[in-house]
């Protein structure tokens, strides 16, 4: 029986023993052994988001919560290799969940051509810290909150982070963006080739020069966008690879590695032989590798844990509390109802030309001197994830709103609207200025309008585009009618209390979160008599939504 400390501090030793116990089976039952050892103690696993990489011991078990931003083609590896001792005896050494072979004792040697060596595949995922995460939600996740232990039901919200977490977070913010290709990035490492011999040491600068200035400059540009501690390359193994999806938020648990040979340098000649550009992978010192032993999807972005079934009477009280908070923010009962509905809206069904369940809400009649930053700051206390888009001619012309595949570095480059489901998007049209929209700006405006209308985006793969579904409530702040349209428009021009939120206490905020979490994550359908009931209540308005006339405030 293994303890939690065994699997956290010495996971590779446990993997070796699992292999020896199930040597004749394809599945070594590693994940089951780890789950039993960590039952009820998942919060003991250190998080890569809560500490500096320098303080994390290599080849230990860690946790990383993030959004899957990109995936690569499967890579092949050896699950185990035969090792021959000085007396001629052989034994199997597990090489799963590692990037490099363990040190071979003196007098021993690896037999790479042995027929007993097992080959398998794993899928590298590029995972980033959840984009748009509010500070209060990030603090709760760093301190062990959320649904890490997989418990469901009654409400428990994790609290404040410790001093060590705050210090590491401060140090990361001072470091800022990582400079492009530091001069010290000359990866010297011994590798073993397919014949059992060692490859020559490779100098990164020399290899990069072979691929020309285009690759080198794009690789540097991609690296410059990465912040240390904000991303991780997760390697999903064949026994746990199904179920993940692009833009999904997951908790990954696995063995961390910081000492990795960059494929874009050491394996560049292999890529050249088949006519492919090398895949850009940032140094492991900036973006560590996590060999996944177990993972699970995060069903809600709210860092709130349920341990008992939700009592409906408590939920009703929580709704009244949430509505009071929304009324304090908007200064109006009708606007409060609309805002609450928008925050909990989720796509329930997608028909041929209609997306049901979404709600894009436009608050119109606002003046350009309206304190939109204050309104957005207030809203961020209630939702765990928010993306603010301050529209301007320059921003629209120069930004990339949708992800784009760059075949020179074999990466899907990040887009502004690549967000996890449930992220609230606030489109601020009050910052829009005069100028000429270029073709890129018009396209970006079109992407934003399509997300609002159908909750989908067309990712750019250069030679073709592919639609990806989104599920993000949209709030639009504007003077008149929104330029991208909306599902509902509420005029708040004469409301001097809009965006003030007087009388909202911390207890009210906490209570509102406890309603928004289950309400936004609930699943329901709109079939059968629901349509007829909606028509009876709304007098048929759901077929032809009533809109304010153009120019009305």
Name the residue with higher pLDDT: 480 or 284.
Answer: 480
Whether pLDDT at 159 is above 80 = no
Whether pLDDT at 267 is above 50 = no
Average pLDDT over residues 320-346: 94
**Mean of all residue pLDDT scores within the chain:** 79
| Structure tokens, 301 | 């972005």
| Structure tokens, 127 | 């995972």
* pLDDT at res. 188: 32
Whether pLDDT at 464 is above 50 = yes
Whether pLDDT at 109 is above 50 = yes
Residue 232 backbone zone (phi > 0: left; psi -120 to 50: alpha; other: beta): beta
Whether pLDDT at 59 is above 60 = yes
CA 451-454-456 angle, to 5 degrees, is: 55
* pLDDT at res. 434: 95
Scanning the structure block, which residue is given the tokens 């977490």?
165
Q: Give the pairing type, strands 424-428 and 386-390.
A: parallel
Scanning the structure block, which residue is given the tokens 């063995």?
255
Whether pLDDT at 33 is above 50 = yes
* pLDDT at res. 148: 52
Average pLDDT over residues 388-394: 97
Average pLDDT over residues 282-310: 86
**Percentage of the chain surpassing pLDDT 90?**
50
Whether pLDDT at 258 is above 50 = yes
Reported as type and span, the H/E element at residue 230 is none
* pLDDT at res. 551: 44
Given a contact cutoff of 8 angstroms between Cβ atoms, the answer to whether 18 and 37 are in contact is no
Lowest mean pLDDT among 198-212, 289-303, 326-340: 198-212
Alpha-helical regions (H) of 225-348 = 263-266, 268-273, 312-330, 333-344
Which distant-in-sequence residues (6+ apart) come within 8 Å of 501 by Cβ?
325, 328, 329, 378
Whether pLDDT at 210 is above 80 = no
Whether pLDDT at 44 is above 50 = yes
Q: What are 119's strand-pairing partners?
A: 78
Question: Given pLDDT bands bounded at 50, 70 and 90, which one contains residue 386?
Answer: very high
Whether pLDDT at 476 is above 70 = yes
Whether pLDDT at 263 is above 70 = no
**Percentage of the chain surpassing pLDDT 70?**
73
Given a contact cutoff of 8 angstroms between Cβ atoms, the answer to whether 256 and 289 are in contact is yes
Name the residue with higher pLDDT: 524 or 457.
Answer: 457
Integer Cα distance of 282 and 287 in angstroms: 6
* pLDDT at res. 377: 92
Scanning the structure block, which residue is given the tokens 């759901």?
542
Whether pLDDT at 478 is above 60 = yes
* pLDDT at res. 284: 86
| Structure tokens, 322 | 């949430």
Q: Give the pairing type, strands 109-111 and 355-356.
A: unpaired
Given a contact cutoff of 8 angstroms between Cβ atoms, the answer to whether 197 and 113 are in contact is no
3 state DSSP class of 444: helix
Residue 421 backbone zone (phi > 0: left; psi -120 to 50: alpha; other: beta): beta
Average pLDDT over residues 213-236: 67
Alpha-helical regions (H) of 399-550 = 439-454, 506-521, 529-538
Whether pLDDT at 307 is above 70 = no
DSSP assigned state of 132: T
- Domains of the chain, each with CATH number or no CATH: 4-175+227-297 (no CATH), 310-538 (3.40.50.300)
* pLDDT at res. 361: 98
Question: Given pLDDT bands bounded at 50, 70 and 90, which one contains residue 106?
Answer: confident
Name the residue with higher pLDDT: 95 or 305.
Answer: 95
Name the residue with higher pLDDT: 124 or 227.
Answer: 124
Name the residue with higher pLDDT: 207 or 335.
Answer: 335
Integer Cα distance of 285 and 259 in angstroms: 7
* pLDDT at res. 274: 42
* pLDDT at res. 383: 95
Whether pLDDT at 522 is above 80 = no
Name the residue with higher pLDDT: 152 or 96.
Answer: 96
Lowest mean pLDDT among 229-233, 252-256, 306-310, 477-481: 306-310
* pLDDT at res. 531: 59
Integer Cα distance of 46 and 140 in angstroms: 14
Query: Considering all CA atoms of the chain, what is the largest pairwise distance in Å, rounded to the nearest integer?
Result: 90
* pLDDT at res. 504: 85
Residues 351-374 pLDDT 10s: 888 999 999 999 999 999 999 999
* pLDDT at res. 413: 92
Is pTM, for the whole model, over 0.85? no
DSSP assigned state of 42: G
Closest CA to 422 of 512, 302, 322, 296: 302
């Amino acid at each position: 029986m293994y303890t939690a400390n065994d699997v956290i501090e010495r996971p590779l030793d446990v993997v070796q023993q699992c292999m020896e116990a199930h040597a004749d089976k394809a599945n070594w039952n590693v994940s089951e052994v780890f789950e039993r050892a960590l039952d009820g103690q998942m919060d003991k696993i250190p998080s890569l988001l809560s500490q500096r990489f320098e303080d994390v011991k290599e080849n230990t078990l860690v946790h990383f919560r993030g959004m899957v931003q990109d995936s690569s083609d499967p890579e092949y590896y050896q699950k185990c290799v035969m090792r021959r001792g000085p007396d001629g005896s052989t034994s199997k050494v597990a090489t799963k969940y590692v990037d490099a072979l363990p040190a071979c004792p003196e007098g021993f040697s690896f037999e790479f051509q042995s027929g007993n060596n097992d080959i398998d595949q794993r899928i590298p995922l590029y995972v980033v810290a959840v984009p748009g995460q509010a500070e209060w939600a990030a603090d709760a996740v760093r301190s062990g909150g959320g649904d890490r232990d997989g418990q469901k039901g009654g409400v428990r919200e994790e609290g404040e982070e410790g001093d060590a977490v705050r210090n590491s977070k401060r140090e990361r913010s001072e470091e800022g963006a990582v400079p492009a290709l530091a001069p010290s990035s000359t990866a010297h490492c011994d590798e073993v080739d397919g014949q059992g011999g060692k490859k020559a040491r490779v100098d990164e600068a020399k290899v990069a020069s072979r691929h020309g200035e285009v690759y080198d400059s794009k690789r540097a540009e991609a690296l410059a966008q990465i912040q240390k501690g904000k991303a991780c390359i997760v390697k999903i193994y064949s026994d746990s690879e199904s179920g993940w999806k692009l833009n999904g938020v997951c908790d990954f648990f696995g063995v961390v590695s910081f000492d990795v040979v960059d494929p874009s340098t050491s394996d560049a000649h292999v890529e050249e032989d088949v006519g492919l550009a090398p895949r850009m992978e940032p140094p492991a010192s900036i973006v560590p590798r996590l060999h996944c032993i177990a993972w699970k999807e995060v069903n809600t972005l709210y860092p709130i844990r349920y341990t008992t079934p939700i009592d409906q009477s408590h939920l009703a009280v929580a709704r009244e509390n949430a509505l009071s908070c929304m009324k304090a923010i908007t200064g109006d009962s009708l606007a409060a109802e609309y805002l609450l509905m928008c925050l909990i809206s989720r796509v329930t069904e997608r028909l041929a030309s209609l997306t049901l369940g979404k709600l894009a809400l436009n608050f119109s009649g606002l003046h350009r001197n309206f304190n939109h930053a204050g309104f957005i700051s207030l809203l961020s206390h209630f939702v765990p994830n928010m993306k603010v888009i301050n529209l301007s001619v320059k921003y629209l012309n120069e930004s990339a709103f949708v992800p784009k595949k760059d075949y020179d570095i074999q990466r899907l480059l990040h887009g502004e609207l690549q967000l996890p489901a449930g992220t609230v998007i606030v489109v601020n049209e009050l910052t829009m200025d005069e100028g000429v929209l270029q073709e890129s700006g018009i396209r970006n405006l079109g992407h934003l309008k399509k997300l609002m209308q159908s909750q989908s985006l067309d990712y750019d793969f250069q030679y073709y585009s592919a639609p990806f579904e989104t599920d993000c409530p949209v709030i639009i702040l504007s003077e008149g009618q929104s330029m991208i349209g909306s599902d509902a428009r509420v005029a708040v021009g004469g409301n001097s209390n809009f965006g003030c939120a007087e009388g909202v206490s911390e207890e009210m905020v906490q209570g509102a979160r406890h309603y928004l979490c289950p309400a936004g994550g609930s699943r329901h359908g709109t079939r059968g008599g629901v349509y007829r009931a909606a028509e009876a209540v709304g007098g048929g308005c759901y077929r032809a939504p009533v809109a304010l006339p153009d120019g009305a405030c």
